[in-house]
Structure 1
């Protein structure tokens, strides 16, 4: 049991540092809205991961295998990211309320909205689906299809991933004292550009034949 958990923890830690739209959005949320808001956003992200894991494990292997290379998934997911990125970029020009010394007043927090954003930003990334499918198929076989061992393994991954994200959130929050309206605008514009780039990458990968996609390519798309 302990051996399975020790093998899972590095995977969860590594996932937390994979560069993607979720990574940047989590840091942005922590800086602009605080640690509590970022944690709620991250819970939404983790919920999407859990849905994928359960979906892959409980009798959906064939269905996921059939749809994971469907180019339409890349086009739809990439298109949503591009639209989201454009919205973030242009909304960064909105006038932000500030104090007399020029620092930004914390934005109002819609925790349900943050949870939903985290869930769908992760859920629309086809790379996440492909990653968990490969993990579930590979791990289930390696663990002799022992349900208890599989459950512990993926639980350890999710917990390690979430705890590492909390560490990132706390570190990002330390930058809050340095925020000014100009810095906020630059952060939001940068986030918008990053989302557009990730969206374009997904769309381009939709034109790549499935047989030319390696496992390394799939992992590169995760988060």
Structure 2
């Protein structure tokens, strides 16, 4: 179980350092509508992640009947991680299009649900997030159900905790989102994905 816990931490960190629209939306909402509005948005994102992780694991169970191909399926998933890592490290470009207001507007309580749903659908409709969870589910298909629970619950908790930290530190994070730092984050994210995919393949074939 310790190994599963470590893999869950690694999986969570992989998603945390991914530079995408959710990161900028969390920061933008946190500054525009305050910490409470930012937390409502983050809870919507977290609910989406939990739903996508469950769906991905559910569909990956169809592969369990192909026991003789489990290693091959895991290698395919690991290879996809490597390809995704190459894309993040060398090809992915990020543009910050939304201007962030410096003075939060008057915020009404009834708008919390709207922010929650905004976070949920923004994350759910991002194909990269679904592919991420589906790839992770396929990659860990050789693990027991208990191990998979530990892996994914740990990953989801880490992502949620990190998103809450982003909300609380929104102003400081925003000042550091220079093009150079965004490019650096992309490259780090890509290299981590590549190393993780290679390590999984090595573990499978040895």
TM-score band w.r.t. shorter chain? 0.5 to 0.7
Number of aligned residue pairs: 146
Where do residues 1-223 of structure 1 align in structure 2 (5 Å cutoff)? 1-59=1-59, 104=103, 106-109=105-108, 110-141=111-142, 143=143, 146-173=144-171
- When residues 108 and 117 of structure 1 are mapped into structure 2, their CA distance, relative to the original with a 3 A threshold, is same
Q: Write the distance in 2 (CA, Å) between the matches of 1:123 and 1:105.
A: 26
Q: Write the distance in 1 (CA, Å) between the matches of 2:11 and 2:118.
A: 24
TM-score (norm 1): 0.56
1:183 corresponding residue in structure 2: none
Q: Deviations over 1:136-167 (max 9, x none)?
A: 011122x1xx1111111100001011111122
Q: Write the distance in 1 (CA, Å) between the matches of 2:104 and 2:57.
A: 45
**Backbone CA RMSD of aligned residues:** 3.4
TM-score (norm 2): 0.60
Q: Write the distance in 1 (CA, Å) between the matches of 2:173 and 2:139.
A: 40
Once the two structures are TM-superposed, the CA of residue 175 in structure 1 deviates from its matched residue by 8.1
Moved over 2 A (4+): 59-62, 103-107, 173-176
Rg larger for: 1
Q: Write the distance in 1 (CA, Å) between the matches of 2:106 and 2:160.
A: 24
Q: Write the distance in 1 (CA, Å) between the matches of 2:40 and 2:8.
A: 24
Give unpaired runs (5+ residues) of structure 2.
63-96, 176-192, 195-206
